[in-house]
Amino acid sequence: MIKIAPSILSADFSRLGEEIKNIEQGGADYIHFDVMDGLFVPNISIGIPVLESVRKITQLELDVHLMIERPVRYLEAFSKAGADIINIHIEADSEDETLRALSIIRKLGKRPAITLKPGTPAVDAEPYIRLVDLVLVMTVEPGFGGQSFMPDMLPKIREMRKLIDSKNPGCELQVDGGINPETAPLCIEAGANVLVAGSDIFKSEDRKKRIALLRGIN
């Protein structure tokens, strides 16, 4: 079954509680929570206090995408604030520190995950792939919602699917950026099983229908 993870970056923050209830009732699987530090990406978004508030109002798994430099510094804080999946970029620190971060996430009882920017080849995930529960292949440059899907990421999704199947078959393969009813089937066909969608879901009137449509159910 394909999982849908609405990115609340595109939600109306003045009514965040209602927005979350709405996607929960719409059948979302995870809540995708984008954290940006203004250094790793040229934008600043939401962080620990907002995550704490979201944790209080939903039982859904919180999928925290850390677009921050040296994420190892903040793992405990995000864990305490209620993250379930803690996802770090492999470009955000050295290989040793990334490995250390993944083992800390596991010890904290959370699900470790890694993300690759569009310019990072699939093979760069190899040192980490057996240690993670989810790999995210970015389908836009991280930093902003509402960008267009990069079709040249499809071969990389396919390559990552092969890598996962041979080295860690239980691992999930997520895509993030520009996902809509046109691009979702392409990613699913290439091997993704978790789709992040921000603007497409939050701009639509009927989120339940939209989530079903993205999942491939008409």
Query: Taking CB under 5 A as the rule, does residue 65 contact Zn ion?
Result: yes
Give least dist CB 166 to ligand DX5, A.
27
Closest to ligand DX5 by CB, 58 vs 147, is 147
The token pair at 63 is 């999928």
Binding site for ligand DX5 (CB under 6 A): 7, 9-10, 32, 34, 65, 140, 142-147, 176-179, 196-200
H/E element holding 164?
helix 154-167
Residues 6+ apart with CB under 8 A from 171: 129, 132, 133, 134, 135, 164
- Rg of the chain on CA atoms, in Å: 16
Query: Taking CB under 5 A as the rule, does residue 34 contact Zn ion?
Result: yes
DSSP helix/strand/coil, 143:
coil
Among 84, 93, 133, 176, the one annotated catalytic: 176
Task: Please indicate whether residue 34 is annotated as part of the active site.
Answer: yes
19 contact choice in Zn ion, ligand DX5, none (CB below 5 to 8 Å, kind-dependent): none
Residues 149-208 within binding reach of Zn ion (CB under 5 A): 176
Give least dist CB 175 to ligand DX5, A.
10
Give least dist CB 84 to ligand DX5, A.
16
Among 29, 34, 84, 200, the one annotated catalytic: 34
Closest to Zn ion by CB, 29 vs 34, is 34
CA–CA gap between residue 198 and residue 188 (Å, rounded): 17
CA–CA gap between residue 93 and residue 66 (Å, rounded): 12
Residue 118 burial (CB count, 10 A): 15
Catalytic residues: 34, 176
